[in-house]
Structure 1
Amino acid sequence: MTRELLLAAFIMCVGLSVAGAGTHLYQWLSRQEAMLRMDGRTVLGAVGHLVMSVVCGPYIMLQMGWRQESGGTLSMTSALISAVVAFGWAFVTGLFIMSVYLAIRF
């Protein structure tokens, strides 16, 4: 049981670290804030934004949960929901990255 939980935590860590690195790389290269979107000037641009949203989504969700409300406070509900969604999404992203790594490696 402990092995399975540690493996799931490792996969989430991989997904979250890839999402964070991808988000900062995207923001550095495109000089704009990363956000979840599907728009674009061309079809290729829209597909690029969609791929970026899927890969970088967990990190963007965590950032969205920590945004302040109008009174300068944090909403605990928003932070908890975004954290649950982000870590679940990070597991899926990490599972995809680990599968690609193992497919290339072996």
Structure 2
Amino acid sequence: MAPSIAIPAASAEPGRSSEEALRRRNEELERELKKSLEREEKVKEELMRVWGRLRVAEEAEERLCCQLGELEAEAVEQVREYRAEILKLVEQLHYAQKLLPQPQGSSFSTND
């Protein structure tokens, strides 16, 4: 035997009133639930948009890091090339100085 709920039957009017109040409360709760579900859906959509933007930003960061690494490697190579060129020029200057006659004192003759 199923349990039954006893509802006091004081009068026909109060029963309808409480039944109507329950119906209104139920409708109000359903409206609140619907609004809550709509807000939840909007939040999910916004989350998906933010997640998409985050993914794009992460990919851009990876590309920038890769480009930065390439530029750093290129800069290091240029520094090595410039240094080698400077050393070569210093060596040439040193060799040229050896080829030039060295002045022997400051013996300038003046013809007056």
Q: TM-score, normalised by structure 2?
A: 0.27
Q: Tell me: higher relative CO, structure 1 or 2? Use CA pairs within 8 A at least 6 residues apart.
A: 1
TM-score between the two structures when normalised by the length of structure 1? 0.29
Bigger radius of gyration among the two = 2
